[in-house]
Chains A and B, each alone.
Chain A
Amino acid sequence: MAEPVVSLRDVHKAFNLGLPNETQVLHGIDLTLARGEFCAVMGPSGSGKSTLLNIVGLLDRPTSGSLRIGGEETRLLDERSLTRLRGHNIGFIFQYHNLLAGFTALENVAMPMLGDAGFSRDDMAQRATALLESVGLAKWRDSMVTQLSGGQQQRVAVARSLAMDPPLLLADEPTGNLDTRSADAVFELLRKANRERGMAVLFVTHNPELAGRCDRIIQVVDGMIRD
């Protein structure tokens, strides 16, 4: 059996540990995501969805428990190794697209490759252009991202998340700020990447219709998972 892309075992997360205002956010999360799996994460605000995504995305560390990315246990990895693992294995899409404002669409998409020594300049340009084409924005490749509409910006963010061809995509309410048509377009792009590239996707959403189109839905309630 193939190694899961992500595997969490009994993951706990507490903030302000040991202080009077200590807050337990995640309570023993168990979650496995196989290659090619498209999983919706739902739950009320403050239930711990974003914390879960930050932990899976190696932006935050669990207080206890095991997190394996591509079979590699991350608990004992140092900051540098976590950064490398994140850069090569995880693509992020945020609710507010979070593009770099002073850069063009092409530069935003190429940014993860630019920060990695493994790409030649020609490769970067070709790859970023192809990704912009795949999200229908080839025409705007040299436009500053601030000149694009919200939907277009989120499509640039999708293209950027695919730049390193990561096996895992983490999307934190990427359609939450978009109109129905743009939200649908962005979801379809993620679905396409999931099907064509075999990427596993963890898709946080409040939209039951979009969640219903995913392979699997998990509910995060009070820091615990209910499938």
Chain B
Amino acid sequence: MKSRWLPFEWIVAIRFLREGRMQTLFIVAGIAIGVAVIVFMSALLAGLQSNFIRRVLTAQSHIQLLPPKEVARALGAADALEDAVVQAPLQRLKSIDQWQSVAAQVRAMPGVEVVSPTASGSALAIRGEASRAVSVNGIDPAQYFLIVALPEKIVRGSTRLTPGDILIGTDLASDLGVGIGDKLRVSSASGGDQTLMVTGLFDLGSKPANQRTTFVALRTAQSLLGLVGGVSSLEVKVRDIYAADVIAQRITAGTGVEADSWIATNAQFFTAVQAQKTSNTTIRFFVGLSVAFGIASVLVVSVVQKSREIGILRAMGISRGQVLRVFLLQGGLLGLLGSLGGAGMGLVALLLWQRYALNPDGTPLFPLAIEPGLFVASLLLATLTGLVAAFAPALRAARLDPVEAIRG
């Protein structure tokens, strides 16, 4: 007996919804479909996006600090020579000035997680009569592996990088006919020449990268490339990958060293990501709008249908505010019920996608982002949409003249 007495507004709102059973059923189904579309699309796009980003950032740091480029200047005053032709200078491999203090400064900046020095340059990898042009990356494994998850890419051997070791891509290994434990001569243009032992083979997921990329210890690269004690770049990992652009600007301003974020170096890709986000938001907006109009139209009809009841309630001493709340609640409840159904439908669709959308090797096409936060946000958003959509009909109900309403 006691449990049947919910607050007045709840009892009347629920009963009004129950009375218009078909109406309620159809609008709840409509909301559910809208919410299911939002949930499915959001998870799909979030998965797609994180998959893209994961691929892009697999072999790349979030921010890269580079030494300033060499600029040729005309001697004397700018106007002293007419039609002076200034040739673009050659960009020699050089170190970031005072890189240790720059690294310490960057490491102390908010949002920065890891800073790793790298000495990179071109060289020839030679095995017998075969040789291949490669990119030599001298790294400090302890720091660098926190930025680029190279150990995850190792398909044979280990990540051991003592001064005499080298890690190479699977395609380079195949081109040169080397395996784990084999020796490889690496010779650079600056005259550096070392024989290194292959300790690991990696697969970066891209043939050109697997043919050209090699990793050696920082000191090995410094000596090979003629950068003794120096580094050609500082690789930075930040906490929020989307804040990389802002942090890069802050680094340049604070240290005077040029810093490029992954957003700037992958501008085209990032534009695509932004376009995806915008289209997703647009779809959400229009689905939300159609849900709102659906709820509002059902409630407008309900106000007309229930005007006599509203008049009776007003005659019994029910206030305008209470009538307003009855209809707001109906809107909120429609939104909540629809979004619960929609979240369920969306989840089922996502699970089906995960099960049936597979690569030829049977692995998922890409991992979906099925996060509880998405479902909670959808529930809250739909309920809020219901409340907002109900406001105009609710106001109309509250303003009904009881005499006119009872008279019908």
Contacts and interface: CB of A to CB of B under 8 A. Distances in A.
Interface of A: 54, 57, 59-60, 79-80, 83-84, 86-88, 90, 92, 94, 98-103, 107, 110-112, 114-116, 121-122, 124-125, 160, 164
B301 interface: no
Question: Interface extent on B, as a size class?
Answer: 20 to 34
B8 A114 contact: yes
B312 A87 contact: no
A114 B5 contact: yes
Given A54-B403, A60-B403, A98-B308, A111 B16 contact: no
B309 A59 contact: no
A-B residue pairs, 8 tightest by C-beta: A87-B317, A102-B19, A121-B5, A112-B316, A115-B318, A114-B8, A102-B15, A83-B319
Given A111-B316, A114-B5, 17 more contacts: A59-B315, A80-B319, A83-B314, A83-B319, A84-B317, A86-B317, A94-B406, A98-B308, A100-B309, A100-B312, A101-B309, A112-B317, A114-B11, A115-B313, A116-B317, A124-B5, A125-B5
B11 to A, nearest CB: 7
A125 B313 CA distance: 19
B2 A122 contact: yes
Interface in B310-363: 311-320, 322
Nearest to B3: A121
A28 B335 CA distance: 52
Contacts of A160: 316
B317 A164 contact: yes
Contacts of A114: 5, 8, 11
Given A79-B320, A87-B317, A111-B316, A102 B8 contact: no
Contacts of A122: 2
B328 to A, nearest CB: 16
Nearest to A97: B312
B54 interface: no
Contacts of A86: 315, 317
Interface in B363-408: 402-403, 406
